[in-house]
Amino acid sequence: MQVEPGSRDAPVVSDTAGVSFVMPVLNERAYLQRAVETVLAQRFDGPRELILALGPSTDGTTELARTLADGDDRIRLVDNPAADIPIGLNLAIRASSFPTIVRVDAHSELDPEYTRTALATLARERAANVGGVMRADGRTPFQRAVARAYNSRIGLGGGAYHGATHAGEAESAYLGVFRRAVLDEVGLFDETIRRGEDWELNLRIRAAGYRVWFDPSLAVTYWPRESWPQLARQFVATGQWRGELVRRFGRRNSVRFFAPPALVLSLALSLVVWLLRATGVLRGGWAVAASVVFLPVIAYVALIIAVALGRGGGSGWRDRLWTLAVLPTMHLAWGSGFIRGTLRGARDTVDTSRLARNTPLP
């Protein structure tokens, strides 16, 4: 019998029962220490532990993690030789001790009140998972441009955690603060899904009747990829896995996921029409009629220019130029990956931007 989403209450546990933070880590030496510090600085009553699932890093991340663990017995390490995020998360969750699980990213920094607020929201709403707003930030003109794209509805399509202001039930949650009992009931992360694993887990949580809750008072600082090639590789992989999720789950995917592939197809069609006109294959009235395919592309270009030159485009000329480059890179990389994933599946696609760190662009 199908259960209505939101019809079941998740168990409530004491705020002092303890919290387990879980973090998959791979080639994150530049970000790991600060991420760990913000976890250990969380203000809430009760014990805590931080479990780092260590992939085979090549930049000194593993050595740094061991140093941090040697200096604080609340930090525990588990090996994740496969390097996949869902596998690492499951290893960390299985090694955890407490009834509330907080997922943390090595590229993220938690506000000091994040956990206390999340625990209160979980108890008040009887939710199984609660998440808040991803507030991307940057240190270089390139990274700041990526952050603005993340924070904009134009950049990532308007998911709640990219800037919504009203609390309520949600399709998914950024990172997530989970009741462990619900994870044990519905199963942990699907280890066959390398990107979008959080969306799929929340789909199962809601299918079991529990609530996934968005709370805009929760905020996490996120540091995006540092270079253009990393960004493109990340978004191709993410788009390809979304295509795989469309193959598996069909119309349960939001309509907004289809905007980037529609842009790619529109650009491809415009190029074909331009070539046919340039070579004289399309002439006269047919050429005029076919010109309508250029309108979406013209509108898109105008939108990107308006965003880059507007208040959100940054204060410096390099920030604005990078915004002009970053937004199409994200949309076209994601859209082309989506088309490929929908047609062929994701197969063994991985996010290769995590495997090596490039020198940040100026």
Question: What confidence tens digit (pLDDT) does each residue in 130-178 have?
Answer: 999 999 999 999 999 999 888 887 877 655 555 567 889 999 999 999 9
Average pLDDT over residues 52-74: 96
Whole-number Å distance between alpha carbons of 18 and 46: 5
Q: What is the mean pLDDT of residues 181-187?
A: 96
Instruction: Please enumerate in sequence order all residues whose Cβ is within 8 A of that of 280, keeping only pairs 6 or more positions apart, or say none.
Output: none
Spatial distance between the Cα atoms of 80 and 160, rounded to a whole number of angstroms: 31
Domain membership of residue 282 as a residue range = 246-350
Q: What is the pLDDT, as a whole number, of residue 127?
A: 97
Same domain membership, residue 316 and residue 187: no
Within a domain: residue 269?
yes
Q: What is the pLDDT of residues 209-240, one digit of tens each?
A: 999 999 999 999 999 998 999 999 999 999 99
Q: Is residue 106 part of a domain?
A: yes
Assess whether 45 and 140 both reside in one domain.
Answer: yes
Helix, strand, or coil (residue 146) = helix
pLDDT at residue 162, as a whole number: 57
Identify which has the larger pLDDT, 337 or 312: 337
Specify the CATH number for the domain of residue 127. 3.90.550.10
120 shares a domain with 167: yes
| Domain end point (choices 189, 224, 259) | 224
Distance in angstroms (rounded) separating the CA atoms of residues 309 and 320: 6
Give the per-residue pLDDT at 161. 57
Are 276 and 141 members of one domain?
A: no
Q: Is 171 inside any structural domain?
A: yes
Residue 45, domain member (yes or no): yes
Q: What is the pLDDT of residue 361?
A: 34
Residue 357 has pLDDT above 60, yes or no: no
Using alpha carbons only, how large is the chain's radius of gyration in Å?
22
* Among 224, 256, 278, residue at a domain's last position: 224
More confident residue, 287 or 25: 25
Query: Does residue 68 sit in the same domain as residue 100?
Result: yes
Helix (H, G, I), strand (E, B) or coil at 169: strand
Specify whether the CB–CB gap between 56 and 83 falls below 8 A: yes
Give the pLDDT confidence of 7-49 residue by residue, as tens digits.
899 999 998 999 999 999 999 999 999 999 999 999 999 999 9
| One domain, residues 175 and 310 | no
Q: Are residues 218 and 258 in the same domain?
A: no
DSSP 30-97: HHHHHHHHHHHT---SS-EEEEEEE---SSSHHHHHHHHHHH-TTEEEEE-TT--HHHHHHHHHHT--
pLDDT of residue 160: 54
**285: in domain:** yes
Q: What average pLDDT does this structure show over 328-355?
A: 91
Residue 251 forms part of a structural domain: yes
pLDDT at 252: 83
Nearest to 106 by CA among 183, 178, 39: 39
pTM: 0.89
Spell out the residues 6+ positions from residue 216 whose beta carbon is closer than 8 angstroms to its own.
132, 133, 164, 165, 166, 167
Task: Assess whether 76 and 176 both reside in one domain.
Answer: yes
Same domain, 61 and 198: yes
Residues 148 and 272 in one domain: no
Q: Are residue 36 and residue 164 in the same domain, yes or no?
A: yes
Q: Are residues 336 and 260 in the same domain?
A: yes
Domain count along the chain: 2
Q: Is residue 236 in a domain? A: no
Hey, which residues does 102 pair with through a beta bridge?
Answer: 21, 177
Look at residue 6 in the predicted model and tell me its pLDDT. 77
Number of neighbouring beta carbons within 10 Å of residue 124? 12
Q: Is residue 325 part of a domain?
A: yes
What percent of the chain is predicted at pLDDT more than 90? 76
Mean pLDDT of the chain: 91
What DSSP element (H or E) covers 23?
strand 19-25
Q: What is the mean pLDDT of residues 187-196?
A: 94
Cα separation, 177 vs 116, in Å, equals 11
